Amino acid sequence: MKVTGESIVPGDKSITHRALLLAGLIPSTSRLHRPLTSLDAAASARLVRAVGGRVSPLRRGAVVSVSGAARWRSPGATIRCGNSGTTARLGLGLLAGHPVTATLTGDRSLRRRPMQRVIAPLAAMGARFHPADTDRLPVTIEGGPLRSIRWELPVSSAQLKSAVLLAGLVGGVPVAVREPHGLSRDHTERFLRLLGQRVTAEEGWITFEPGAPLSAFELTIPGDPSSAAFLVGAALLAESGELVIRDVGLNPTRTAFLSVVERMGGSLRGELRSEGPGEPIGDLVVRPSTLRGTVVGGSEIPGLIDEVPLLAVLAARSEGETRFDQVGELRVKESDRLALIAENLRVLGYRAETGENQLFVAGSDQPPVGRVRTAGDHRLAMAFGVLGTVPGARVEIDDRASRRRELSRLLRDPGADRQNDPAPW
């Protein structure tokens, strides 16, 4: 397959969530350009509406207006977070500092994801939870006055870190959190600084101190690097050509996968064009490449945890073996991603094994043939859709919402997708 042309990917999911939720704290109107219009983003908009804010419909091509509530109210019904762990965890942090009672739940996948790791620090700050010892949704939170906290997180996680920082914001108290295994994505810290708050990072500790009152903002959301990663992968595995992906967020805490791809021999160039409103933005230029195995692990894992499925399928088409260390957190994502990555690679004819915290993949040039099981996890569907673009591939994906055919169409005519609904990404 030849790859050519230019593409623009949907708005960054992480930044869209934070923009919606933080705008929900501000009574005047904020405006969001190019936000992601996915079901996950809709869950955060739903939370803002449930506590008294107003959010215009999330439609492709539309500027979204958000007018927050001066005082958050207790929702009249359970807040349904769908499959969005970001909505649930950041939402708990924001609710903790308001005198409200709210119950949060999610779909089957979200209800199996651990919540005690975010409940524990918020409870230590003064929020109350029912049941207090639960590790799963649904959970009811009673918010109110909060106290300062200094908390060491059990894992490096932007969601956990952000929940504590946002609780400090709404509670008007200083907080500090420490990440044990490297810095996770820092969109919340950047956004808080943009809104006039004081956030510092030193020796693994992220410290927040309340600053100026929040003011409404206008923001253009950069393209999501995690979405761009799938196009990068397909372009690397193509037979010829060049792909340019425009207006991508190049935040260093989100682009560790680019460094791994370069280490594997990938022809990839990032061209920074502007810092934007607190976030670096630029273009990615990708060419087909012969890849080689590598070792992925340590402090780079928090910055590429969502891209491990894509890197694993690239490893399957590389020379030699690739080892992923410290990736046990993938077992508690939308699915047990670690087990499913290895299982699906074996089904397609590759050698792959897992340990409790590791993944091993042996590369091969044989065409992948078989049926992939995704358990409804879109990142697995997309990653194996990339593998399905190589010559001779016959990859069937059980998730009908997957984008294998759409991905192939994009690579034939990338510019045509600029007005497409980004929700499936």
Residue 187 CA to its chain's centroid (Å): 11
Give the pLDDT mean for 220-228. 94
Q: With 0-12 CB in 10 A as exposed, 13-18 as middle and 19+ as buried, what is 392? A: exposed
Question: From CA 87, how far away is CA 19, in angstroms rounded?
Answer: 12
- Specify the 3-state DSSP secondary structure of 245: strand
Residue 343 CA to its chain's centroid (Å): 23
Q: How far is CA 297 from CA 256, 313, 325, 363, 418, in A?
A: 11, 17, 5, 18, 35
Enumerate residues 6+ apart whose C-beta is below 8 A from 189.
165, 199, 201, 206
Check residue 402 and give its pLDDT: 45
Q: Would you give the DSSP letter of residue 216?
A: -
Beta-sheet pairing, 79-80 with 101-105: parallel
Alpha helices in 126-186 (DSSP H): 158-171
Q: Nearest to residue 425, comparing CAs of 410, 22, 273, 327?
A: 410
Question: For residue 43, is pLDDT > 70?
Answer: yes
Asked if residue 167 lies in contact with residue 97, where contact means CB atoms within 8 angstroms, the answer is yes
Enumerate residues 6+ apart whose C-beta is below 8 A from 296.
260, 304, 308, 311, 322, 323, 324, 325
Neighbour tally for 413: CB within 10 Å: 11
Question: What average pLDDT is seen over the chain?
Answer: 91
Question: From CA 53, how far away is CA 25, in angstroms rounded?
Answer: 8
Q: Which pair of tokens denotes residue 306?
A: 């969502």
Question: For residue 421, is pLDDT > 50?
Answer: no
The DSSP string of 120-162 is: HHHHHHT-EEESTT--SS-EEEE------EEEE-SS--HHHHH
Q: What is the signed CA dihedral for 82, 87, 92, 96, rounded to 10 degrees? A: -130
**35 vs 375, residue with greater confidence:** 35
User: Cis omega (within 30 of 0) on the bond before 10?
Assistant: no
Asked if residue 407 lies in contact with residue 390, where contact means CB atoms within 8 angstroms, the answer is no
Given the residues 12, 247, 306, 417, the one annotated as active site? 306
Q: Which pair of tokens denotes residue 401?
A: 């919402």
Asked if residue 51 lies in contact with residue 102, where contact means CB atoms within 8 angstroms, the answer is yes
Report yes or no on whether pTM surpasses 0.85.
yes
Q: With 0-12 CB in 10 A as exposed, 13-18 as middle and 19+ as buried, what is 239? A: exposed
Per residue in 107-151, pLDDT (tens digit) is 998 999 999 999 999 999 999 999 988 999 999 999 999 999 999
Annotated active-site residue 365? The verdict is no
Asked if residue 28 lies in contact with residue 215, where contact means CB atoms within 8 angstroms, the answer is yes
Question: From CA 368, how far away is CA 125, in angstroms rounded?
Answer: 51
Per residue in 175-195, pLDDT (tens digit) is 999 998 778 899 999 999 999
Beta-sheet pairing, 79-80 with 149-152: unpaired
Per residue in 230-260, pLDDT (tens digit) is 999 999 999 999 999 999 999 999 999 999 9
Check residue 85 and give its pLDDT: 95
